[in-house]
Amino acid sequence: CRVVVLISGNGSNLQAILDACDDNLLADVVGVISNKPDAYGLVRAHHSEVDTSCVIAAKGESRAEYDARLSAVIDDYRPDLIVLAGFMRILSADLVTRYLGRMINIHPSLLPKYMGLDTHQRAINAGDSEHGASVHFVTPELDAGPVILQAKVPVYEGDSVELLAERVHEQEHAIYPLVVKWFSQGRLRMQDGVAYLDDQPI
């Protein structure tokens, strides 16, 4: 399974997937694409001898223009699966539709709770006793595609955003490689907005 990973930053989820690939994930990360030239994830990719590309938004460029350039770079890698791992840009419906059923994202909340940004702060503010992360298929509506796998963590009294984020991250690194593995094994698909694992709706 040819995998392309899109990042904007640290790339710790990318690292978890690269590590799992080394351990026989049945997947090959064939390219890492960043919209930020200084994303640390690019360094991680180099260490693993994975090809990298930067697609940096030009001044005044429309979303449609940017996404057309991005999808040209994605397609050059001929991926079976596109993994968003901290890619901090909203993708146009056109681009998402092009990769429907082959693009996944990880979001730091128990979706459908807390779509969008600042999820840890919002969970703390709401007094939630649990929080977590979700891997989902990407659909045109932001963070609203069908969930594939979630991991929960407790929220402790007096938790800081940093501590909670760290706890969530640890879980992300466990569930994201697992979902990539399922996809590579051909066990995962999306049909009519529903995610299936081994032909069972999730």
Q: Which residues are known binding-site members?
A: 11-13, 63, 88-91, 105
Site membership for ligand GRF, residue 91 (CB under 6 A): no
Q: Are 190 and 164 in contact (CB under 8 A)?
A: no
Distance, in Å, from the CA atom of 201 to the CA atom of 180, rounded to the nearest integer, reads 18
Report the residue from 11, 31, 79, 177 that binds ligand GRF according to the rule CB under 6 A.
11
Task: List helix spans (H) across 26-160.
Answer: 40-47, 63-76, 93-98, 119-125
Site membership for ligand GRF, residue 145 (CB under 6 A): no
Tell me, yes or no, if 136 is annotated catalytic: no
Stretch that binds ligand GRF, among 5-13, 55-63, 71-79, 138-146 (CB under 6 A): 5-13
- Picking from 135, 129, 166, the residue whose alpha carbon sits closest to that of residue 150 is 135
Min. distance of Cβ 199 from ligand GRF in angstroms? 28
Q: Which residues bind ligand GRF (CB under 6 A)?
A: 7, 9-14, 85-86, 106-108, 133, 169, 172
